[in-house]
Amino acid sequence: MEKIRGFEIAKGFEDKGINLPIRKTKYSAGYDVEAAEDTVIPKFVPGQKPTLIKTGIKAYMQDNEYLMLANRSSNPGKKGLILANSVGIIDKDYYGNSDNDGHIMFAFYNIKDQDVEIKKGDAIGQAIFMPFLVADGDNATGERTGGFGSTNKQ
């Protein structure tokens, strides 16, 4: 079968019992993504970095697609969790990169007054495959050299 778009287990997580994301209903846009391990997200303190929640998965897609990471609608109200970057963007060339094999992580802040514990297997967010367009005169030729924050590396 030709690979068009989908999910795989990232390197280092092959024996960790990771579940690939699934849609729960036939009209769901998003694939529900689970945490790969237990993680504590500390209550927010100004200046702290977001907590990265490992998923143990990576995603492959077509050249004109990206994967959008979105928060679960219940996370802010029930758990006090908000995505640090509002929406995550996973580019096609993140898949299999040399730094982390394209391992997808969600970056959360906890706005509650107490720490929040995420258990392995808890649904933490949604992943939605999306098409994108390029502008007239676009001549991007750069190539990804790594994982998080590598797009602007020279």
Predicted confidence pLDDT, tens digits, the chain (154 residues): 899 999 999 999 999 999 999 999 999 999 999 999 999 999 999 999 999 999 999 999 999 999 999 999 999 999 999 999 999 999 999 999 999 999 999 999 999 999 999 999 999 999 999 999 999 999 998 887 776 665 555 4
Distance of alpha carbon 108 from alpha carbon 86, whole angstroms: 9
Token output for 113: 């007054």
pLDDT in the model for residue 143: 81
In this structure, which topology does domain 6-131 adopt according to CATH?
Deoxyuridine 5'-Triphosphate Nucleotidohydrolase; Chain A (2.70.40)
Give buried/exposed letters for 40-62 (b at 16+ CB in 10 A, else e). ebeeeeeeeebbebbbbbbbbbe
pLDDT in the model for residue 149: 63
In contact, 119 and 79? CB cutoff 8 Å: no
**Distances in whole angstroms, Cα of residue 21 to Cα of each of 31, 35, 69:** 5, 11, 12
Token output for 61: 């897609």
pLDDT in the model for residue 1: 82
Domain borders along the chain are 6-131
Token output for 27: 């009209």
Token output for 6: 């989908």
In contact, 32 and 22? CB cutoff 8 Å: yes
pLDDT in the model for residue 18: 98
